[in-house]
A and B are shown apart, each in its own frame.
Chain A
Amino acid sequence: MADLRINFAGIRSPNPFWLASAPPSNSGAQVHRAFEAGWGGAVWKTIGAPVLNVSNRYGAWHFGGQKMLAINNVELISDRPLEVNLREIAEVKRAWPDRAVIVSAMVESKPEVWHDIIKKIQDTGADGIELNYGCPHGMSERGMGSAVGQVPEYCEQITGWVMQVAKIPVIVKLTPNISNIVMPARAAVAAGADALSLINTINSIIGVDLDTFEIVPNIGGKGGHGGYAGPAVKPVALNMLSALGTDAVVSESKLPISGMGGISTWPDAAEFLLLGASSLQVCTAVMHYGFRIIEDLCDGLSNWMDEKGFKKISDVVGQSVHRVSDFKNFDLSFKAVARIDQEKCIRCNLCYVACNDTAHQCIDLVAKDGSIVPPGSYDVRSNGKEEAIHTRPSVHVREEDCVGCRLCFNVCPVDNCISMAEEPPERPSVTWDEITQKQPEVTEDWEKMKAYREKMGIHIH
Chain B
Amino acid sequence: MNEEARAAAGQEALAEALPPLTRHEALVESTRCLMCYDAPCTHACPTHIDIPKFIKKINTGNLRGSARTILESNLLGASCARVCPVQELCEGACVLGAEHKPIAIGRLQRYAMDYVYSKGVDIFLTAKTSGKKIAVVGAGPAGLSCAGELAKKGHDVTLFEKRDLAGGLSTYGIIGLREPVGISLAEVEMIQRLGVRIETQREIGEDLVLAELQAKFDAIFLSLGLGATPNLGIPGEEQVIDGLEYIEQSKLNGHNLKIGRNVVVIGAGNTAIDCATIAKRCGGEHVTMLYRRTASEMTAYPHEYDFIKKEGVRFEFLAQPVRIIVEKGIVVGVECVRMSLGQKDASGRPAPRPVEDSQFVIAADQVVKAIGQEKASLAARLNVKTQRGYIDVDEHFQTSLPGVYAGGDCIRTHGAASTVMAVQDGKLAARAIHERLVGNG
B214 sits at the interface (CB 8 A): no
Asked if B36 and A387 make an inter-chain contact with CB atoms under 8 angstroms apart, the answer reads no
Asked if A346 and B99 make an inter-chain contact with CB atoms under 8 angstroms apart, the answer reads yes
Q: Which of A181-189, A334-342, A347-355 contacts B (4 or more CB under 8 A)?
A: A347-355
Asked if A65 and B46 make an inter-chain contact with CB atoms under 8 angstroms apart, the answer reads no
Closest chain A residue to B31, Cβ basis:
A65
Asked if B36 and A349 make an inter-chain contact with CB atoms under 8 angstroms apart, the answer reads yes
Asked if B36 and A348 make an inter-chain contact with CB atoms under 8 angstroms apart, the answer reads yes
Interchain CB contact (< 8 A) of B95 among A64, A348, A391: A348
Which residues B21-51 have CB closer than 8 A to chain A? 27-28, 31, 34-41, 43-46, 48
Closest chain A residue to B36, Cβ basis:
A348
B326 sits at the interface (CB 8 A): no
Asked if B34 and A384 make an inter-chain contact with CB atoms under 8 angstroms apart, the answer reads no
- Distance in angstroms from B438 CB to nearest chain A CB is 21
Closest chain B residue to A393, Cβ basis:
B38
- Count the A-B residue pairs with Cβ separation under 8 angstroms: how many? 72
Asked if A378 and B43 make an inter-chain contact with CB atoms under 8 angstroms apart, the answer reads yes
The interface on chain B, measured as residues whose beta carbon lies within 8 A of the other chain's beta carbons, has a size of 28
Asked if A64 and B31 make an inter-chain contact with CB atoms under 8 angstroms apart, the answer reads yes
Asked if B99 and A385 make an inter-chain contact with CB atoms under 8 angstroms apart, the answer reads no
Task: Fill in one digit per residue for B344-360: 1 if any A CB lies within 8 Å of its CB, else 0.
Answer: 00000000000000000
- Distance in angstroms from A69 CB to nearest chain B CB is 13
CB-CB under 8 A for A385 and B89, given A349-B37, A376-B38, A380-B48: yes
Task: Fill in one digit per residue for B167-196: 1 if any A CB lies within 8 Å of its CB, else 0.
Answer: 000000000000000000000000000000
A54 sits at the interface (CB 8 A): no
Taking chain B's interface residues, is the majority helix, strand, or loop, or is none over half, making it mixed? loop
CB-CB under 8 A for A383 and B45, given A346-B96, A347-B40, A348-B95: yes
A287 sits at the interface (CB 8 A): no
**CA separation between A64 and B56, bound complex, in Å?**
11
CB-CB under 8 A for A388 and B44, given A349-B38, A350-B36: yes
Asked if B27 and A65 make an inter-chain contact with CB atoms under 8 angstroms apart, the answer reads yes
Asked if A387 and B38 make an inter-chain contact with CB atoms under 8 angstroms apart, the answer reads no
Task: Fill in one digit per residue for B91-121: 1 if any A CB lies within 8 Å of its CB, else 0.
Answer: 0110110110000000000000000000000
Closest chain B residue to A382, Cβ basis:
B43
Asked if B93 and A352 make an inter-chain contact with CB atoms under 8 angstroms apart, the answer reads no
Closest chain B residue to A349, Cβ basis:
B37
B88 sits at the interface (CB 8 A): yes
Which of the listed residues B34, B43, B46 has the most CB atoms from chain A within 10 Å of its own CB?
B43
- Distance in angstroms from B417 CB to nearest chain A CB is 13
**CA separation between A391 and B93, bound complex, in Å?**
11
- Distance in angstroms from B167 CB to nearest chain A CB is 23
Which residues A317-357 have CB closer than 8 A to chain B? 346-350, 352-353
CB-CB under 8 A for A388 and B43, given A64-B31, A348-B37: yes
Residues of B contacting A460 in the complex (Cβ-Cβ under 8 angstroms): none
Asked if A350 and B40 make an inter-chain contact with CB atoms under 8 angstroms apart, the answer reads no
Residues of B contacting A348 in the complex (Cβ-Cβ under 8 angstroms): 34, 36-37, 39, 95
Interchain CB contact (< 8 A) of A380 among B34, B36, B37, B428: B428
CB-CB under 8 A for A385 and B38, given A380-B48, A392-B43: no
**CA separation between A388 and B40, bound complex, in Å?**
5
**CA separation between A76 and B428, bound complex, in Å?**
64
**CA separation between A365 and B39, bound complex, in Å?**
13
Residues of A contacting B92 in the complex (Cβ-Cβ under 8 angstroms): 384-385, 389
Asked if A350 and B37 make an inter-chain contact with CB atoms under 8 angstroms apart, the answer reads yes
**CA separation between A459 and B36, bound complex, in Å?**
32
Asked if A375 and B37 make an inter-chain contact with CB atoms under 8 angstroms apart, the answer reads yes
Interchain CB contact (< 8 A) of A383 among B43, B95, B98, B428: B43
Closest chain A residue to B98, Cβ basis:
A346
Residues of B contacting A387 in the complex (Cβ-Cβ under 8 angstroms): 43-44
Residues of B contacting A376 in the complex (Cβ-Cβ under 8 angstroms): 38
Size band of the interface chain A makes with B: 20 to 34
Task: Fill in one digit per residue for A357-379: 1 if any B CB lies within 8 Å of its CB, else 0.
Answer: 00000000100000000011010
Asked if B46 and A383 make an inter-chain contact with CB atoms under 8 angstroms apart, the answer reads yes
Closest chain B residue to A65, Cβ basis:
B31
A413 sits at the interface (CB 8 A): yes
**CA separation between A388 and B38, bound complex, in Å?**
11
Residues of B contacting A381 in the complex (Cβ-Cβ under 8 angstroms): 424
Residues of B contacting A388 in the complex (Cβ-Cβ under 8 angstroms): 40-41, 43-44, 93
Residues of B contacting A382 in the complex (Cβ-Cβ under 8 angstroms): 43
Asked if B99 and A352 make an inter-chain contact with CB atoms under 8 angstroms apart, the answer reads no
- Distance in angstroms from B204 CB to nearest chain A CB is 27
- Distance in angstroms from A217 CB to nearest chain B CB is 20
Closest chain A residue to B28, Cβ basis:
A65
Residues of B contacting A391 in the complex (Cβ-Cβ under 8 angstroms): 43
**CA separation between A186 and B121, bound complex, in Å?**
63
- Distance in angstroms from B432 CB to nearest chain A CB is 12
CB-CB under 8 A for A375 and B38, given A65-B28, A383-B44, A388-B43: yes
Closest chain B residue to A347, Cβ basis:
B95
Which residues B70-104 have CB closer than 8 A to chain A? 87-89, 92-93, 95-96, 98-99
**CA separation between A383 and B43, bound complex, in Å?**
6
Asked if A350 and B34 make an inter-chain contact with CB atoms under 8 angstroms apart, the answer reads yes
**CA separation between A346 and B102, bound complex, in Å?**
12
Closest chain B residue to A352, Cβ basis:
B37
**CA separation between A98 and B377, bound complex, in Å?**
91
**CA separation between A389 and B44, bound complex, in Å?**
8
Which residues B377-427 have CB closer than 8 A to chain A? 421, 424
Residues of A contacting B46 in the complex (Cβ-Cβ under 8 angstroms): 383-384
Asked if A389 and B27 make an inter-chain contact with CB atoms under 8 angstroms apart, the answer reads no
- Distance in angstroms from B278 CB to nearest chain A CB is 28
Task: Fill in one digit per residue for A277-295: 1 if any B CB lies within 8 Å of its CB, else 0.
Answer: 0000000000000000000
Residues of A contacting B421 in the complex (Cβ-Cβ under 8 angstroms): 383
Residues of B contacting A64 in the complex (Cβ-Cβ under 8 angstroms): 31
Closest chain B residue to A392, Cβ basis:
B40
- Distance in angstroms from B229 CB to nearest chain A CB is 26
CB-CB under 8 A for A385 and B93, given A65-B28, A65-B31, A380-B48: yes
**CA separation between A348 and B37, bound complex, in Å?**
6
Residues of B contacting A380 in the complex (Cβ-Cβ under 8 angstroms): 48, 428
Residues of A contacting B89 in the complex (Cβ-Cβ under 8 angstroms): 383-385
Which of the listed residues A365, A380, A383, A387 has the most CB atoms from chain B within 10 Å of its own CB?
A383
Task: Fill in one digit per residue for A388-410: 1 if any B CB lies within 8 Å of its CB, else 0.
Answer: 11011000000000000000000
Interchain CB contact (< 8 A) of A384 among B38, B44, B95, B428: B44
Which of the listed residues A375, A380, A384 has the most CB atoms from chain B within 10 Å of its own CB?
A384
Closest chain B residue to A413, Cβ basis:
B34
> 4 tightest A-B contacts by CB?
A385-B92, A388-B44, A375-B38, A65-B31
Can you identify 26 A-B contacts, CB atoms within 8 angstroms?
A: A64-B31, A346-B96, A348-B36, A348-B37, A349-B37, A349-B39, A350-B37, A352-B37, A375-B38, A380-B48, A383-B43, A383-B44, A383-B45, A383-B424, A384-B88, A384-B89, A384-B92, A385-B40, A385-B44, A385-B92, A387-B43, A387-B44, A388-B44, A389-B93, A391-B43, A413-B34
Given contacts A383-B89, A387-B43, A387-B44, 9 further A-B contacts (CB under 8 A): A64-B31, A65-B27, A346-B98, A347-B40, A349-B38, A376-B38, A382-B43, A384-B46, A384-B89
